[in-house]
Amino acid sequence: MSRYFIELKYDGTNYHGWQIQNNANSVQAEVNKALSTLFQTEIMVMGAGRTDTGVHAQQLFAHFDLSFDKLRMTNINTNQLVFKLNTLLPADISCSSASEVNAEAHSRFSATARTYEYWITPTKNPFLINKAYYFTKALDIDLMNKAAETLKKHTDFSCFSKSNTDTHTNNCDITFAQWQQADNKLIFTISADRFLRNMVRAIVGTLLDVGTKKNSLEDFNQIILSKNRSNAGTSAPAHGLYLTEVKYPKEVFNG
């Protein structure tokens, strides 16, 4: 049995998130279908995380296992795997790379860091429909960055998590959080070892309340300390969110 990592990109507009669902199409289902068609046997991939409906990914890794005895093969050419997989995937999903990894490597549990971006556009732009949040209120970006810096002083982010999730802890180590202007967009970048369900969108929504002066910096800090989701802001829309990077130890690929 051999294990492979594939690196994926996708526009999440037409999908009900990454994870397979009974009555809706998902990115994971499309990848499973393409790989199963390619190898003529059922393939199930495990992703590095679960993006919600409408959320995009510029980089997401998934792993799957192959039994060469069943396939009557001795090995596969990863370059050919990428090429053939892209011919079978829908136009809004692509595979960037494929690598054989050690048997213990896991796309979700071996990941050491993840980075998200959230895009906001202050002007109506037809090319950013379903790609950025159209937000017209004036924002104090310096104040929002001061609040974002506060995030790194905390570890318990219960106030930004969906309730009734299956996580054992709401602790996360946020290593980077910053707003920047880029090409007439306002982009929030955040990195951490892990993220809770809906966490980034809830953080963005709460930071926007700071930027519009609805809440102060002290209010923002107290919201985090409260550990109560009802005290935080409304979650920003899903279509402005991008998973942009997932990091792994070098031994995952070289082991």
Domains by residue range for the chain, with CATH: 2-109 (3.30.70.580), 113-245 (3.30.70.660)
Q: What share of the chain is helix, strand, coil (3-state, %, to 5)?
A: 30, 25, 40
pLDDT tens track for 223-236: 999 999 999 999 99
* β-strands 2-10, 56-66 pairing: antiparallel
Of 43-57, 132-146, 162-176, 236-250, which gets the smallest average pLDDT? 162-176
**pLDDT greater than 60 at residue 255:** no
Q: Which of 52, 69, 140, 166 is catalytic?
A: 52
| d(C-alpha 93, C-alpha 236), whole Å | 24
Distance of CA 47 to the CA centre of its chain: 10
Dist. CA 144–CA 64, nearest whole Å: 40
Give the C-alpha separation, 62 to 108, whole Å: 8
Read off φ and ψ for residue 66, nearest 5 degrees. Answer: -125, 135
pLDDT, position 22: 87
The structure tokens listed for 60 are: 């997401």
What is the band of 167 on the pLDDT scale with cuts at 50, 70, 90? low
Comparing CA positions, the residue from 209, 138, 211, 203 lying closest to residue 176 is 203
- Give exposure, 93-104, as e/b (b: 16+ Cβ within 10 Å): bebeebbebeee
Q: What is the pTM of this model?
A: 0.94
The percentage of the chain sitting over the pLDDT mark of 90, rounded to a whole number, equals 84
pLDDT value, residue 73: 63
Whether 140 is catalytic: no
